[in-house]
Structure formats: structure tokens, C-alpha cells
Amino acid sequence: MTATSPARHRERAPLDHAGASFLDIGHAVLVDRYRETESIDACALADLTNLPRLGLRGRAAAERLIAEGFRLPEAPNRLVRAASGEALLRLSQSEYLLLGSPADKGASVRALESGLPNAGENGLYTLPRQDSHAWFWLGGPRRFEVMAKLCGVDLSPAAFAGDGVAQTSVARINAIVANDDQGSGAFHLLFDRPSAVYFWDALLDAMQEFGGKPVGFTAVTKGI
């Protein structure tokens, strides 16, 4: 169902998104669409900050994820997409970041988090990625050129693996860049929440040359 305003929800994204219509996902809302036609042509940017995600760290993190049915990336700085749509990023030997699936609007990740033991119990620690990081989605075939304008690391298809994860600087802020090449392909960009307004504007400015535009959740689900 759609909601006319996100104001009544406890959890709110750091951007207002004036002129958008919103999708109610229970604990929060996502931008569903803007007034213009929703399509991903050269490049498109979406705010998925309110879609659930979860950080896990410690000697038991891998065991718990495997027990939940996830296939682990074989090495740090790699991503694996689950059949159910979650993206699992391996940030180090024992640290993982699980991004909620658009298919169930992150419900499985929220359920997993609620069933985890207390911090540190059995060598498993949860990380507050929902509170600490914003999450943007950058899709479309010109996304590589957009990132080339903002990041000193070569993220082109020839240099950056289709399942690669880079922990680097983008538009002069620290960010996690995950290359999710399944479907039509996209970058997941995770970074400090207080930088969201600045980062959104920087990305839109870099996209302008290619006719890029913001899109909502409807377009994202069609583009994966």
C-alpha cells in the first residue's frame, strides 16, 4: 500500500524526497515512485536507506549465516546474491553485511536480526548498519561512468569484478561500493547517514551529463 507521508513512521530516511509517493513497509516507508515515468535508461539513483540490512562480525558470524541458508562469499571484498534476493557482502575475514531483499522488502533480514543472541554471545556480534549507514542504489549502463567522476578507484567492468566490493572514497566521503551484476546490474553504495543529502546531490550532479534521474522502489524491483 502507498502512504502519502513518511512522518508517522518511527524510522525515517535522511532525505525528504519532496513530490514522491511512498510505499509503506511496516516499520518505515520507501520512495515508491516520483511524478515522472519510472524507468531506468542510462542511469538511475534510488534511496534504499529504509530497506533493512544487518551487520554481523565475529568467529561465529559465518556459521550463523550458513545455518540461515546463505552461501558465503569466498573471500573478503566480494558479494553473493541469495536466491531470495538478499545481497551478502563480506567486508573482512569475519565481518559481513547483509542487505535486505526487495522481494520481501527486507522482512527476512528483520526476522533474522530479532532472533540473534545478545551481543558477543557465542562469538557473534551484530553491527548497527541500519542506524549508521545510508544505502543508495545506482543502476543503469552508464553507472560506471558516473562513478568514474566521483571515485579514484577504477570501478569499470574490466577492472572491478561483477561481485566486487570496494571500501573506498566516493565524492570525498568513505563508502562501501558493492558491484551487484545480477539482473540489469547496479552499485550498492553504503556510507555515513549524516552525509546523505550531500551524497545524493553529488550523485545527481554526476548523472546529469547522462540524463540520469532519481527513481523509486518500483523501478528498482524491475531493474534487478
What are 30-49's pLDDT values in tens digits?
Answer: 999 886 556 788 999 999 99
> Would you place residue 1 in the very low, low, confident or very high pLDDT band (cuts 50, 70, 90)?
very low
The CA dihedral of 127, 130, 134, 140, to the nearest 10 degrees, is 100
Mean pLDDT over 125-151 rounds to 94
Q: Give me the half-sphere count of Cα atoms (radius 13 Å) on the Cβ side of residue 19.
A: 5
Is residue 4 pLDDT above 70, yes or no? Answer: no
Is residue 63 pLDDT above 50, yes or no? Answer: yes
The pLDDT score that the predictor gives to residue 2 is 46
Is residue 182 pLDDT above 90, yes or no? Answer: no
Mean pLDDT over 64-77 rounds to 96
Total number of residues shown for the chain: 224
Burial class of residue 176 (count of CB atoms within 10 Å of its CB; 0-12, 13-18, 19+): buried
Of 76, 77, 79, 78, the residue nearest 87 (C-alpha): 79
C-beta of residue 51 within 8 angstroms of C-beta of residue 63: no
Is residue 135 pLDDT above 90, yes or no? Answer: yes
> Would you place residue 122 in the very low, low, confident or very high pLDDT band (cuts 50, 70, 90)?
confident
Amino acid present at 212: G
Output the pTM of the full model: 0.91
Segment 185-196, tens digit of pLDDT = 999 999 999 999
Higher pLDDT, 131 or 97: 97
Segment 160-181, tens digit of pLDDT = 999 999 999 999 999 999 999 9
Domains of the chain with CATH codes = 6-50+132-222 (3.30.1360.120), 53-127 (3.30.70)
The pLDDT score that the predictor gives to residue 16 is 78
> Would you place residue 77 in the very low, low, confident or very high pLDDT band (cuts 50, 70, 90)?
very high
C-beta of residue 141 within 8 angstroms of C-beta of residue 41: no
Distance CA 26, CA 33 (A): 18
What rounded mean pLDDT belongs to the chain?
89
Distance CA 110, CA 99 (A): 10
